[in-house]
Amino acid sequence: MEDIYADQERLRGFCQAILGATGADAPSAVAAARAMLHASSLGVDSHGVRLLPHYDKVFRGGRLNKAPNMKFARTRAGSGLLDADNAHGALAAYAAADHACNLAREAGIGAVGISRTSHCGPAGAYALAIAEAGMIGIVMCHSDSFVRLHNGAERFHGTNPIAVAVPTQGSNPWLLDMATSAVPYNRVQLYKSLGRELPADAASDHNGLDTNDANAVEMLAPLGGKFGFKGAGLAGMVEIFSGLLTGMKLSPEILPMGGPDITTPRDMGAFVICIDPDGLVGRSLLLAGMDRYLTALRESTSREGTTVMAPGDREWAEATRRSKIGVPLDPETVAEFRRLSQGAKIAAPF
């Protein structure tokens, strides 16, 4: 079966309606749909609308608070903690981004730790929200164990993503959004369904040894291949910021995202940093410097048959393409959407 393409606004409405049908309040449904559409519009499909069935399940199961009472406590001039009250991770992360921006406007930098949150979704969505406010956003979050350590033979860290967004003089910010694992687990699932071999140094079997067979994957490898200590180190940094500075669990202690228990909150953490350039060199100098930097980068010599791109260039190009053709929905997602549509009596978005 071929992918079906769906209009982005119809998808947004469908996601909000399905989550509303679970009893989730409007802010939760709007934030979750906003984050999913961010990912789906930029081609980050692993964190896009394909997550809707999972969110529907955990809202109904009780893992997520359908009407959270989030509380923010300012601890210093430029720092604070947000107790998310087991909210959907997107609602908590967008709220933390707003608080961090407010702190940074006064102190020059704002750092907000998020406690009692859940699956964060696309970290780049929240960093981008800060860049759209004219400041630099840094977002990181941990997750349940699925990535081995360098030379390790068991799951330890989560995929523990890091995202950074910087405003530019153009319409699209510089946007880095990366996992600290070699590949996302969704890539393994995709290769398994296609019967394709995985690239080298992407995933490991139950002994922690590299495997190209997607069916034999027991854990992901850390970013860096033979130099995987770098990816493992970055994952550890995310663990410290997201888990320890927020007083939450470590990755090995977090209940699995797809596990059988969908009633118990997972006690996850995340961390958001906002830097106001006016607290340093000033916004105008930053924007001029970004223009100079990106011009030099994109005009630099590339290898034959390739193109040099800045972080985000590929995603912004895909966003332009998808704004015209819609978001591709794979057959599994289409089937799940039809099931949700029939169960909630809400028209499917295709």
Average pLDDT for 279-300: 98
Residue 33: the pLDDT is 98
Tell me the per-residue pLDDT of 130-187, one tens digit each, with 9 for 90 and over. Answer: 999 999 999 999 999 999 999 999 999 999 999 999 999 988 999 999 999 998 887 7
Tell me the pLDDT band of 1, cut-offs 50, 70 and 90. Answer: low
Contact between residue 28 and residue 88 where contact means Cβ atoms under 8 Å apart: yes
Tell me the per-residue pLDDT of 212-246, one tens digit each, with 9 for 90 and over. Answer: 999 999 999 999 999 999 999 999 999 999 999 99
Contact between residue 108 and residue 280 where contact means Cβ atoms under 8 Å apart: yes
What are the angstrom distances between the C-alpha of 35 and each of 41, 58, 119, 132, 266? 10, 17, 11, 15, 20
Q: Which fold has domain 4-181+222-282+316-344?
A: Ribosomal Protein S8; Chain: A, domain 1 (3.30.1370)
Tell me the pLDDT band of 296, cut-offs 50, 70 and 90. Answer: very high
Tell me the per-residue pLDDT of 241-264, one tens digit each, with 9 for 90 and over. Answer: 999 999 999 999 999 999 999 999
Average pLDDT for 206-215: 95
Q: Which fold has domain 182-221?
A: Wheat Germ Agglutinin (Isolectin 2); domain 1 (3.30.60)
Q: CA 177, 181, 186: angle at the middle one, nearest 5?
A: 80
* Helix, strand, coil percent values for the chain (each to nearest 5): 45, 20, 40
How far apart CA 64 and CA 159 sit, in angstroms, is: 21
Residue 88: the pLDDT is 98
Q: Is the pLDDT of residue 106 over 70?
A: yes
How far apart CA 169 and CA 288 sit, in angstroms, is: 7
- Give start-end residues of each CATH 3.30.1370.60 domain in the chain: 4-181+222-282+316-344
Tell me the per-residue pLDDT of 311-337, one tens digit each, with 9 for 90 and over. Answer: 999 999 999 999 999 999 988 899 999
- Give start-end residues of each CATH 3.30.60.50 domain in the chain: 182-221
How far apart CA 192 and CA 185 sit, in angstroms, is: 11
Beta bridge partners of 329: 4
